[in-house]
Amino acid sequence: MAEQLIISISGLRGIVGENLTPSIAAEYGCAFGTFLRCASTREEQVLSVCIGWDSRSSGQMLKSAVTAGLCAAGIDVIDLGLVTTPGVAVMVKKLRCSGGAMITASHNPIQYNGIKLLLGNAIAPPSHQAEQIKQYFFDKNFALVDSPNSGKVTADEHTDANHIAAVLALVEKQAIAAKKFRVVLDSVNGAGARVTTKMLTELGCEVSAINDEPTGLFAHPPEPTIENVKEVCEVVKAKQAHVGFAQDPDADRLAIVDEAGTYIGEEYTLALAARYVFSKRTGKAATNLSTSRMLDDIAAGAGGQVIRTPVGEANVAEAMLEHDCIIGGEGNGGVIDLRVSPVRDSLVGIALVLQLMAEMGKTVSQLARELGGYYMTKEKFAVDQARTQQILDLAKETFTDAKLDTTDGCRFDFDDGWLHLRASNTEPIVRVIAEAKDQSTVRRYINDVLKIRNQVLG
């Protein structure tokens, strides 16, 4: 059976040629255009959306289709070309657009593509607005305009320059350049290579770029997880580099490899970036309920505080804007600094980590060791919606000694660790994440959950 087209809080995603076709993409463009038109105030007569694509071969086809849909709804479109997702966010703000669209399936395999949307404040639509767009799409309820009022298409080639300038404003360029860091960069033949290499060169780094042709033909499975980035680890060792960076195809996620060629885990990306930011400022950070406690330790050390949100980039970004957070993001290697944009940004992560290395005069492995000491385990199992609720209810009866947060499934905070159970937004599965200072405690939490699962599922 063909897989379903997935429309979630993070946009639309499907398999090109099966369920993701030009007509679907054009209708999604119409739906987004209709939403923007209905949401706009009367003064905003000319509405515009900037659009980019991440190097997947079907990207230009889908970009043309979404552009057609937006123009049909009377929205002007600014074509940014082949750029990153955080690059689109920077340009939404810079060009004062009413929204942004990015043609990407992020870290999904090569047969997929998708459409991510941004509102005028450059955050992904929060759930109630994502729901409205979805409704326009499914009802084919489009506010189409006549020929004289159709949207017009222009191009803008300044995304890289604007993005780099915004990121470099966060760090001291000379301090990093003085270190002459040797850096390995794996952009998985996605959108990140060109802009990131340029930025690293401006930071005086000696860059060894691998998989840096934006062909969309991924050199390895594109999620920057430990099994997929072995090549960076090898090249770091061979080149005796100070650090290795691995991006996903649209360059919003970042994984780090230390100077010994060891993958340190995506949880450390946000933690290291936050360590630098909290060394200069104090305030609030925001992250989702499934992210490591390292961030709480760092914030607490600087007299700051962490806001926890449901999983989903838009939820974190919304909380960051609401609480004026100085740093935020997700444990999957997504760092957000509102001074650049409210979108996860691997360039922000890279710049902040290089600044931390330069200022502390320490290696990545030393810095990671100073933060770490936690063990995290992730599990998932298939279960339908009704029985998911039974599992959550039983968990509440079991872990009565924990502090409970129910904003996204159940998160139990214990003195010695935490446990998060939540239903996936896109599949009939429950995800279980546990973290503690020792492996046996993590195992105990997970085993307790598996016992509950067995009790419910029989």
Stretch that binds Mg ion, among 8-16, 103-111, 151-159, 187-195 (CB under 5 A): 103-111
Find out whether 48 and 100 touch, Cβ atoms under 8 Å: no
Between 106 and 292, CB nearer to Mg ion: 106
Question: Least distance from C-beta 152 to Mg ion, angstroms?
Answer: 30
Q: Does 223 bind Mg ion (CB under 5 A)?
A: no
Taking CB atoms, the residue at the shortest distance from Mg ion is: 106
- State the pairing for strand pair 284-288/327-330: parallel
Q: Does 106 bind Mg ion (CB under 5 A)?
A: yes
Catalytic-labelled residue, pool 55, 106, 208, 290: 106
Placement of tokens 């009704």 in the chain: 386
Binding mask 277-316 for Mg ion (x = CB under 5 A): ----------------------------------------
Q: Does 345 bind Mg ion (CB under 5 A)?
A: no
Stretch that binds Mg ion, among 28-36, 100-108, 194-202, 265-273 (CB under 5 A): 100-108
CA angle, corner 316, sides to 329 and 408, nearest 5? 115
Q: Does 54 bind Mg ion (CB under 5 A)?
A: no
Between 215 and 366, CB nearer to Mg ion: 215
Q: How many angstroms separate the Cα of 368 from the Cα of each of 270, 363, 377?
A: 11, 9, 18
Between 76 and 252, CB nearer to Mg ion: 252
R_g of the chain computed on alpha carbons: 22
Stretch that binds Mg ion, among 26-34, 106-114, 306-314, 433-441 (CB under 5 A): 106-114
Binding mask 321-340 for Mg ion (x = CB under 5 A): --------------------
Alpha-carbon distance 410 to 156, whole Å? 45
Between 248 and 259, CB nearer to Mg ion: 248
Identify the bridge partners of residue 458 per DSSP, sorted by sequence position.
none
How many residues touch Mg ion under the rule CB under 5 A: the total is: 4
Question: Least distance from C-beta 23 to Mg ion, angstroms?
Answer: 25
Question: Least distance from C-beta 13 to Mg ion, angstroms?
Answer: 11
Between 248 and 266, CB nearer to Mg ion: 248
Between 15 and 124, CB nearer to Mg ion: 124
Residue 325, helix vs strand vs coil: coil
Question: Counting Cβ atoms within 10 Å, is residue 121 exposed (0-12), middle (13-18) or buried (19+)?
Answer: middle
Binding mask 230-259 for Mg ion (x = CB under 5 A): ------------------x-x-x-------
CA angle, corner 295, sides to 294 and 300, nearest 5? 100
Find out whether 321 and 123 touch, Cβ atoms under 8 Å: yes
Placement of tokens 């955050």 in the chain: 123
Q: Does 108 bind Mg ion (CB under 5 A)?
A: no
Question: Least distance from C-beta 117 to Mg ion, angstroms?
Answer: 14
Between 56 and 242, CB nearer to Mg ion: 56
CA angle, corner 57, sides to 56 and 61, nearest 5? 105
Stretch that binds Mg ion, among 55-63, 101-109, 138-146, 447-455 (CB under 5 A): 101-109
CA angle, corner 121, sides to 330 and 319, nearest 5? 40
Q: How many angstroms separate the Cα of 22 from the Cα of each of 28, 149, 326?
A: 10, 23, 40
Identify the bridge partners of residue 119 per DSSP, sorted by sequence position.
99
Between 27 and 252, CB nearer to Mg ion: 252
Question: Least distance from C-beta 448 to Mg ion, angstroms?
Answer: 33
Length of the chain in terms of residues written: 458
Residue 113, helix vs strand vs coil: strand
Question: Counting Cβ atoms within 10 Å, is residue 19 exposed (0-12), middle (13-18) or buried (19+)?
Answer: middle
| H runs (alpha helix) in 12-97 | 22-39, 59-72, 85-94
Between 250 and 266, CB nearer to Mg ion: 250
Question: Least distance from C-beta 124 to Mg ion, angstroms?
Answer: 12
Within 10 angstroms of residue 167's Cβ, the number of other Cβ atoms is 28
Find out whether 82 and 33 touch, Cβ atoms under 8 Å: no
Quick check: is 208 catalytic?
no
Question: Least distance from C-beta 104 to Mg ion, angstroms?
Answer: 7
Find out whether 278 and 320 touch, Cβ atoms under 8 Å: no
Question: Least distance from C-beta 5 to Mg ion, angstroms?
Answer: 19
Placement of tokens 């639509």 in the chain: 125
Stretch that binds Mg ion, among 105-113, 166-174, 191-199, 327-335 (CB under 5 A): 105-113
Question: Least distance from C-beta 252 to Mg ion, angstroms?
Answer: 4
Residue 236, helix vs strand vs coil: helix
Q: Which residues carry out catalysis?
A: 106
Residue numbers at the binding site for Mg ion (CB under 5 A): 106, 248, 250, 252
